[in-house]
Amino acid sequence: MQTKAPEQKGRHAFRLSFEFFPPKSLEMEAHLWESVSDFTEWDPEFVSVTYGAGGSTKAPTFSTIQRLMSDTPMATASHLTCVDAAREETLAVIEELRAAGVRHIVALRGDPSAGIGTAYQPHPEGYANAADLVAALKDVGGFEISVSAYPEKHPESTDTNADIEMLKRKADNGADRALTQFFFDNDVFERYMDKVRAAGITLPVVPGIMPIQNLSMLKRFAGRCGSTVPEFLDRRFAGTEDDAVARAEVAADVAAEQIQDLIRRGLGEFHIYTMNRSALTNAVLERLGRQRVSVKEGAVA
């Protein structure tokens, strides 16, 4: 059963942004660029490209950003981390991004170099956390700044209150918006937002949505990054193990239903983790009645 489309308000009923990662092989690169025209037609506010800790994906990140900026009309943001980097190194990367034409940065601390779940150690001459990185970006000036937020808390945080205090520091230092880690229980997000607003944080917080490409892989990934995969998802995907078409239908329904419920709760902007593939994202947005835009003519299709 497909999700009923929300009533359109003006050009679109809600705003969108997409996240990509720099391709790690020629095959993965082909998948991304084959999908880019689809992503463009959904008229996102911006797209972002991830950046590995310590600059481990710097070259492919820059290459992807430059091609998106030159070959598409989509406003393009770069992620930036400060883990395992001295301040001078981070500032040099910021200037490289500025020279490349980037004016929007997603400022992140970054995962520990030894991997998620290991102890984080700030670089002795670097920025200690994302709040410090935001302050540095504001000092440099000229950038729109997005940051992260964690409805189920960052896996390294002692509790949600510590997470919210960090979000407040990022907001106070000049962040323009927060993009959340993915979640599947909208009640969890609503309770989190009640605490965020109670803490005096007025920063726009954009829900991160993860359409489920593979439930088993998602569970492993979610376990590392602190997100909960509710039991109802097992029930929704039951019986689809050997039916790729059925799995895709369920995945699209689940993501569309989540967004539709968030719209009913008053949300109007969503950040979609695309995994560089457009088919599932297309199906989700079609269920929601999102209008495509003709890239060639700049008109709504």
Catalytic residues: 19
Geometric angle at alpha carbon 53, from 74 and 179, rounded to 5°: 45
Let me know: does 290 contact 13? Beta carbons within 8 Å.
yes
Let me know: does 106 contact 77? Beta carbons within 8 Å.
yes
Distance between CA atoms of residues 281 and 286, nearest Å: 9
Q: Give Cα separations from 207 to 73, 122, 188 (angstroms).
A: 24, 28, 12
Q: Give Cα separations from 146 to 107, 183, 250 (angstroms).
A: 6, 18, 31
Give the DSSP letter string of 35-78.
Answer: HHHHHHHT--SEEEE---GGGTTHHHHHHHHHHHHHH-SS-EEE
Distance between CA atoms of residues 146 and 49, nearest Å: 12
* End-to-end CA gap in the chain: 25
How large is the C-alpha radius of gyration of the chain?
19
Give the DSSP letter string of 287-300.
Answer: HTTPPPEETTTTEE
Phi–psi pair at 260, nearest 5 degrees: -60, -40
